[in-house]
Amino acid sequence: MKKTAFGFTLLAALILSAGCSVANASSSAATDVCVARQAEVALSWGSVRSVAGGFAVTARELADWQETRDAARGIQLRSKWRAMPIELPVTVCYYDGNFNNFPGRAKRPPYDRIAVIVGADGKLTLDAAGPHDNLKVERPTRK
C-alpha cells in the first residue's frame, strides 16, 4: 500500500485531536513523520504523551552527532549510520511520555523522554532514553 502525504496529514490530525500535542519541533515535515509513528513507538517502548521535536537529517549528520555527542565524557563509538549512503534521509524524533519497555535491559524507573530514529526504510530504532532534563531536544549536529 502506498502511503501519501494526505494519509500522514490525516493521521496526524486524528492523533492531535485525540489530545496529543507537538511542542518545540523545528521541522514540520519531520514532526509529521514523528506524529505518524507515535502509536508504534508507544507499542514498542511505553506511553507517548507528546512529540517534543522532530528533525530531518542525513545519515552522515546522524553518524557525526552520535560519534561526537558524548566525546567530552570520554565515550567513543562508531555509528551504524556511518555505513549508510551519506545523503540517506533519516528522521530523529523526540517523544515525551512514560517509557520503560526496553527488552534485554534491567527494569528501572521509567524515563520521560526517548529519542527514536526513523530510517529511510521506516524502521524505528531507539537512540536514547532518559529524563527530559538530561535528554535535550536538539537537531543532530557534530559536537
- For 45-64, write each residue's pLDDT tens digit: 999 999 999 999 999 999 99
Lowest mean pLDDT among 7-11, 54-58, 79-83: 7-11
Nearest CA to 102 out of 122, 60, 130 is that of 130
Q: Is position 141 within any domain?
A: no
Q: Is position 87 within any domain?
A: yes
Residue 86 has pLDDT above 50, yes or no: yes
Residue 71 has pLDDT above 60, yes or no: yes
Instruction: Quote the domain boundaries for residue 12.
Output: 5-130
Determine phi and psi for 115, rounding to 5 degrees. Answer: -115, 130
- Please enumerate in sequence order all residues whose Cβ is within 8 A of that of 33, keeping only pairs 6 or more positions apart, or say none: 8, 54, 56, 91, 93, 118
Q: How confident is the model at residue 99 (pLDDT cuts 50, 70, 90)?
A: very high
Q: Give me the pLDDT at residue 23, please.
A: 40
Cell of 62: 546522524
Domain total of the chain: 1
Pick the more confident residue, 85 or 70.
85
Residue 10 has pLDDT above 50, yes or no: no
Write down the mean pLDDT value for the chain. 82
Q: Is position 138 within any domain?
A: no
pTM over 0.85: no
Q: Is position 139 within any domain?
A: no
Q: Is position 93 within any domain?
A: yes
Q: Is position 23 within any domain?
A: yes
Q: Is position 40 within any domain?
A: yes
H-helix or E-strand spanning residue 56: strand 46-58
Q: Is position 108 within any domain?
A: yes
Q: Give me the pLDDT at residue 143, please.
A: 67
Half-sphere CA count of 131, side-chain side, radius 13 A: 4
pLDDT > 90 in the chain, percent? 62
Residue 29 has pLDDT above 80, yes or no: yes
